Structure 1
């Protein structure tokens, strides 16, 4: 599922963790830009199955890099709850490790849902990591356009991302049963069942955050105009 982790602001966190977070978020945004470029370029020119064959490994490596966020949360470098962060990271790892790598012959890997998955993930993460990096490094605050993207694009990207993840798992059920065993088949079915409550929680949280953050910016802007 899509991440909604909260990272501490530049004025509150110690200097060294801030430097680390700025570097981590900037590098992560750059990595996901590679995923987006590969998806758009190869997807439009070559399509499937070439897209999956040429991009699944780098996508897996980049997504595995997000394990760092669990350690950031556990060490208190960011404010994200450790349980929520771990659940979000591992839900992604299930897709890249438990489907793409463990079940390379799954029809899901060569389906259109792989394309919508990588597009949804990459655009979301480019915006999210860029927002965090800017929040930590820019003393004047995050540019409005980036804040608007962070708290508006989820309207589309969360549903497309979650539906793509579910489609990837669903299309892999038969392959899971045949290649791994019935236990993995039922494990994936149980995983699908967790998406409804998880999506509702994340989606409603982002709706509230959007109203809070953008509403505050609008109020501050109106106050400045009236002065």
Structure 2
């Protein structure tokens, strides 16, 4: 890997880790202090743009900057875009649900671990405990995140139906249907990654 590419990826991952840490800390603090209905006003816009930055990962995959599979990257990023730019953007009242808070907590915990791990790994530092969390945390965080996303989408579809916006309700229903083949595919991908790294079946790539 060229030095320019390495520096870029270290900066990108470190910045992303810091941005998601803000989401994690603000969500947790606001949820405890004021309840789930206060989370969106406190961190909703920040989360939207932090997640938008993650759209660069699709470009990274297309251009070969990293070796992450394009389809799994596209599925994960696009599903989150459907939440922050679709469901919650058009129906912000659904963010008062505890599911919105649990979704952000799952996302942000995952991303703080993932981006920190990549930033350190690319810098030649590989803490074993952080590596274990990177490749094992999905067992808990993924089910929490996916169930929260689906519940938020369901609330958005219900809100659209109540407004007689059947086109938008139909689109949301289609998005929800993509989780049926998509979720197992992503989960299987993460299990393969874990077997490769934790199971010792090969050397882990130092790129995403």
TM-score (norm 2): 0.91
- Encode CA deviations 1:48-75: one digit per residue, 9 max, x unaligned: 3222222111111111111111221122
Secondary structure of 1:215's aligned partner: coil
Shift of 1:210: 1.4
Q: Is 1:172 paired with 2:160?
A: no
Q: Is 1:187 paired with 2:171?
A: yes
Taking the aligned partners of 1:196 and 1:84, their CA distance within structure 2 comes to: 14
Please name the residue that 1:27 is paired with. Answer: 15
Taking the aligned partners of 2:195 and 2:71, their CA distance within structure 1 comes to: 25
Taking the aligned partners of 2:164 and 2:14, their CA distance within structure 1 comes to: 38
Shift of 1:180: 7.6
- Encode CA deviations 1:91-147: one digit per residue, 9 max, x unaligned: 101100101212223xx2111101110100000000111111112111xx5110011
Q: Which runs of 4+ in 1 moved over 3 A?
A: 177-180
Distance 1:84 1:152, change over 3 A: closer
Taking the aligned partners of 1:180 and 1:142, their CA distance within structure 2 comes to: 53
Please name the residue that 2:205 is paired with. Answer: none
Please name the residue that 2:143 is paired with. Answer: 159
Please name the residue that 2:102 is paired with. Answer: 116
List runs of 5+ in structure 1 lacking aligned partners. 1-12, 218-227
Q: Is 1:137 paired with 2:123?
A: yes
Shift of 1:32: 0.4
Please name the residue that 1:41 is paired with. Answer: 29
Matches within 5 A, 1:84-99: 84-99=72-87
Indicate conservation of the 8 Å contact 2:160/2:169, yes or no: yes
Bigger mean CA deviation after superposition, 169-178 or 22-31: 169-178
1:149 to 133, 137, 144: 133
- Encode CA deviations 1:181-224: one digit per residue, 9 max, x unaligned: 2111111111111112211111122222212211229xxxxxxx
TM-score (norm 1): 0.84
Distance 1:194 1:54, change over 3 A: same
List runs of 5+ in structure 2 lacking aligned partners. 202-208
Structure showing greater radius of gyration is 1
How many residues get paired?
203
Let me know the Cα RMSD of the aligned residues.
1.9
Distance 1:54 1:79, change over 3 A: same
> 1 or 2, which has the higher helix percentage?
2
